[in-house]
A and B are shown apart, each in its own frame.
Chain A
Amino acid sequence: MKVMNAIRRHAEENFIVLSLILLIIFFSWSSDNFFSVVTLKTILNQLPALTVVTVGMTLVLIVAGIDLSVGSVLSLSATVIGVLVVGWQIPLPLACLAGILAGLACGAANGALVAFFRLPAFIVTLGMLEMARGLAYIVNNSQTVYIGSSIQAIALPLPGVGVSLALLIAIGVVAAGHFMMTRTVFGRHLTAIGSNEQAARMSGIDARPHRLFVLALSGALAGLGGVFNAAYLGSADPNAGIGLELSAIAAAVIGGTSLMGGRGSVLGAFVGVLIISILQSGLAQIGVSEPSKRLITGAVIISAVLLDRWRQKHPQ
């Protein structure tokens, strides 16, 4: 009985991990060089930015919120770094910190408006999506600024380790997020707020600081995503991250997070990120055209949610 319960409880994770494995098997079977260095490199390069943004998004979704501004905030962070390093000759670590802080500021503004002025998160972050994108263009004068090899080092494999610093940080963020949601009192409070805010209030939990924190964190993680994006490109692109919010929501949902709040897994969301990335590169690898790629990706997102629904209704 105990074992059965444990299996059932982890079924959520098991299920999507199984999907991921099936996906990998499919692509290695249909494409001879799927396991090539080039493919792996592409996947691993693009992974860190989407991963950290998705972790932030998952936490926001768990408290029944949404953050549509992450893509724009990511590009704002990248452009801030570009201007500071190239224009102002600021040392790279400080510039990266400034980029993350710019993201934190956007997120904190979102959070304050949602938590303390009781505005809907959808509207506030939609407004921020426009504002941050506009700011990114202003900061960079609508140009892509070339930063150079100093920042690219973050995205290159570390000697002796084999993976990049960016990927290590991203995995650290996933681990921290998962620990927070599963083991801490704060994580328990987030779930409670997302599940029934009124009942949470009557248990003495004030939702406002929690909402503020989660949206601010999502902004800061989008800022960190900006660092990774600039590192991957070697330049600060004000057009970076367009539509990223949708990929992040899709990854979170594939990983079992509910848009209604109260249910979600950071680890699951990470597997969702892997599924989306592998699907993208794998389809490109077997020669699927860009329009068909989008068609298939969309269908996979919907099927994942359908399957999840079906599995919940029919446990075992």
Chain B
Amino acid sequence: MKDLRLSIRNLNKSYNVPVLKNVNLSIGRGEIHAIVGENGAGKSTLINVLTGLTPRDSGSIFLDGESYEPNCAGDGFAAGVSFTSQELSIVESLTVAENIFLRQLPRRYGIVDKSALHASARALLDRVGLDYVATDSRAESLSLADRQLLEFAKAINAECRLLLLDEPTAALTQQQADRVHAVIREIATQRVSVIYISHRLDDVLDVSDTVTVLRDGAVISTTEADSSSAADLVSLMTGGGVIRPSDLAATDAASRPALVVENICTANLPNSVNLTCHESEIVGIAGLAGSGKSELLRAMFRLDGLHSGRVIRHIKSETIQIRSARHAVRNGIGFLGENRQTMGIFPGQAVLTNMMLPDILRSAACTVDATAEKTVAGQLGERLAIRCNSLQQDIRELSGGNQQKVLIARWLNAGSAVLLLDEPTRGVDVGTKQAIYELLFELRSNGNAIVIASSELDELMTVCDRILVLSNRHLVAEFNRGHWSEEQILSASFSAYTDNTTREMSQSEGVR
């Protein structure tokens, strides 16, 4: 039996509704303890209470047997509790090294000691596998995946007793995630306890010693990772069986094209790409981080300038060349960006406003029909099972998964016939994922055309009729349902990189 590092007794926290209910948790020294649960189950709140960002309502917390009562993030840090948040906290205009040591820049005579700074930063970057990143490069030049690893380097810098990781691998490829897991295991051998939150259940079972399942703010079970399976966890999390998305029949070969991309090139996509998405078809875009998936979707929605080529929308017998994002929306194209916070939500605005934005219901030519809006938003909220107190609630108060549902509802309201979705299930729990998949199938059978870019191969193989593979910004392969395997897709993903270009790719990822 290991010594106890952290012990939580009868912890309660509620905002307007209870978020944590009588949570009891014990974690030993050097233990990796995973916490899983649907979005809104209370995982992030638990982390925020432990770091001191959120005050608790009642209950007690003991750290190494001593009462631990953090009131601000600084208290947690001083007590040896450090964390990485789900939303990144990187200061883009500072260098990588300065970001890592932001709390305590090494100094001599009050002046930042550059050589010490860069030497310590180098060591930490190497530890998290960012050996190809220079310590004096600006954080803004890093890709999303590298930023997550930088966040990680920042957290393990502190002399920490308890490390809290909230979705550290959500944006990472499997290779990068494996690297992070190796680092986590190494840290745990130094008797640091780790709380690990992730939606990737295989990762959770792989890396952790113990798994706790939270549902609606209450602890449902705590089990040894070795004796659990992903299926067990899912049924505990959802409180019932999971609906597996049914394999629908392959698309009608004669179906008409909805969106045709002809020879497009952009600054970030130098090699011309052709693709056609048909009505009633789900097309997947696979590829490693930095392979150009997001760039392709952005170009299709005409967010980035085209150097050459055209994007053409077919509506019945008409063909329309799409000129701008605005023109795209008007012609029934919807877009979901990869970053929910910066590309999706309107912070400070009501859920209703957020949901109704691209296609506001009009009573006259240019006035808002408030009554119809409420009705439609209510129906969409029910259809997607969006959890919120009221439609007037600030969207920032919703959990990540519920925010994502609101953003999807936005395009359902706009009646978009073509949906371009970039990582639609990133940071979303299993239940919501299933709901999104079901919705996609429903939309497909209604004749919608859907293009999904995802870093999760499982996801693409579950929902897509056809998968296109990007590698190093080249479109390298195309697979139809029934004619693919994970190995084939993966090897295609790697095909345009040779050993020489791997490093180049990692660096060019930063050029977005």
Residues of chain A whose beta carbon lies under 8 Å from any beta carbon of chain B: 5, 9, 183-186, 188, 191-192, 195-196, 198-206, 262-263
For A185, list chain B residues within 8 Å (CB): 360, 362, 366-368
Query: How far is B337's CA from A202's CA once the two chains are assembled, in angstroms?
Result: 8
For A184, list chain B residues within 8 Å (CB): 366-368
For B346, list chain A residues within 8 Å (CB): 191-192, 195-196, 199-200, 262
Could you say which of A9, A185, A186, A198 has the most chain B C-beta atoms within 10 Å of its C-beta?
A: A185
Query: How far is B353's CA from A185's CA once the two chains are assembled, in angstroms?
Result: 11
For A263, list chain B residues within 8 Å (CB): 348
Query: How far is B369's CA from A183's CA once the two chains are assembled, in angstroms?
Result: 8
In the complex, identify which listed stretch (B153-161, B324-332, B453-461) lies at the interface while the others stay far away.
B324-332
Closest Cβ of chain A to B272, distance in Å, is 24
A-B contact list, 11 entries, CB within 8 Å: A185-B366, A188-B353, A191-B353, A199-B342, A200-B357, A202-B301, A202-B335, A203-B358, A204-B327, A204-B329, A205-B358
Q: In chain B, what residue has the closest Cβ to A206?
A: B326
**Is B502's beta carbon under 8 Å from chain A?**
no
Query: How far is B345's CA from A198's CA once the two chains are assembled, in angstroms?
Result: 10
Known: A9-B392, A204-B330. A262 touches B349 (CB 8 A): yes
Closest Cβ of chain A to B404, distance in Å, is 13
For B301, list chain A residues within 8 Å (CB): 202
Q: Is the CB of A202 within 8 A of B344?
A: yes
**Is B59's beta carbon under 8 Å from chain A?**
no
Known: A195-B349, A262-B348. A201 touches B357 (CB 8 A): no
For B370, list chain A residues within 8 Å (CB): 183
Query: How far is B328's CA from A263's CA once the two chains are assembled, in angstroms?
Result: 28
For B353, list chain A residues within 8 Å (CB): 188, 191-192
For B347, list chain A residues within 8 Å (CB): 195-196, 262
Query: How far is B359's CA from A192's CA once the two chains are assembled, in angstroms?
Result: 13
14 new A-B pairs (CB below 8 Å) besides A184-B367, A262-B346, A262-B347?
Answer: A183-B370, A185-B366, A185-B368, A198-B343, A199-B337, A199-B344, A202-B301, A202-B343, A203-B358, A205-B357, A205-B358, A206-B325, A262-B348, A262-B349
Query: How far is B392's CA from A186's CA once the two chains are assembled, in angstroms?
Result: 20
Query: How far is B411's CA from A202's CA once the two chains are assembled, in angstroms?
Result: 11
For A5, list chain B residues within 8 Å (CB): 390, 392
Q: Is the CB of B328 within 8 A of A204?
A: yes
Known: A199-B345, A206-B324. A192 touches B392 (CB 8 A): no
Residues of chain B whose beta carbon lies under 8 Å from any beta carbon of chain A: 301, 303, 324-330, 335, 337, 342-349, 353, 356-358, 360, 362, 366-368, 370, 390, 392, 410
For A195, list chain B residues within 8 Å (CB): 346-349
Closest Cβ of chain A to B140, distance in Å, is 15
Query: How far is B362's CA from A183's CA once the two chains are assembled, in angstroms?
Result: 10
Closest Cβ of chain B to A185, distance in Å, is 5
Known: A188-B360, A196-B347. A203 touches B329 (CB 8 A): yes
Closest Cβ of chain B to A172, distance in Å, is 18
For A199, list chain B residues within 8 Å (CB): 337, 342-346
Known: A195-B348, A198-B342, A262-B346. A188 touches B368 (CB 8 A): yes
Shortest 4 CB-CB contacts between residues of A and residues of B? A204-B329, A195-B346, A203-B358, A204-B326
For B392, list chain A residues within 8 Å (CB): 5, 9
For A204, list chain B residues within 8 Å (CB): 325-330, 358
Q: Is the CB of A203 within 8 A of B367?
A: no
Closest Cβ of chain B to A64, distance in Å, is 12
Closest Cβ of chain A to B350, distance in Å, is 9
Closest Cβ of chain A to B439, distance in Å, is 19
Q: In chain A, what residue has the closest Cβ to B302?
A: A204
For A200, list chain B residues within 8 Å (CB): 346, 357
Closest Cβ of chain A to B145, distance in Å, is 20
For B325, list chain A residues within 8 Å (CB): 201-202, 204, 206
Query: How far is B301's CA from A186's CA once the two chains are assembled, in angstroms?
Result: 23
Q: Is the CB of A201 within 8 A of B303?
A: yes
For B367, list chain A residues within 8 Å (CB): 183-185
For B348, list chain A residues within 8 Å (CB): 195, 262-263
Known: A196-B346, A262-B349. A205 touches B326 (CB 8 A): yes
Closest Cβ of chain A to B49, distance in Å, is 19
Closest Cβ of chain B to A128, distance in Å, is 29
For A201, list chain B residues within 8 Å (CB): 303, 325
Q: In chain A, what residue has the closest Cβ to B362?
A: A185
Q: In chain B, what residue has the closest Cβ to A195?
A: B346
For B330, list chain A residues within 8 Å (CB): 204
Q: In chain A, what residue has the closest Cβ to B335?
A: A202
Closest Cβ of chain B to A1, distance in Å, is 8
Closest Cβ of chain B to A254, distance in Å, is 19
Query: How far is B368's CA from A185's CA once the two chains are assembled, in angstroms?
Result: 6
For B335, list chain A residues within 8 Å (CB): 202
For A192, list chain B residues within 8 Å (CB): 346, 349, 353, 357
Q: In chain A, what residue has the closest Cβ to B301?
A: A202
Instruction: Among A9, A186, A191, point to the contact of B349 (Cβ < 8 A).
Output: A191
Query: How far is B367's CA from A186's CA once the two chains are assembled, in angstroms?
Result: 8
Query: How far is B407's CA from A199's CA once the two chains are assembled, in angstroms?
Result: 10
For A203, list chain B residues within 8 Å (CB): 329, 357-358, 410
Q: Is the CB of B349 within 8 A of A202?
A: no
Query: How far is B306's CA from A294's CA once the two chains are assembled, in angstroms?
Result: 55
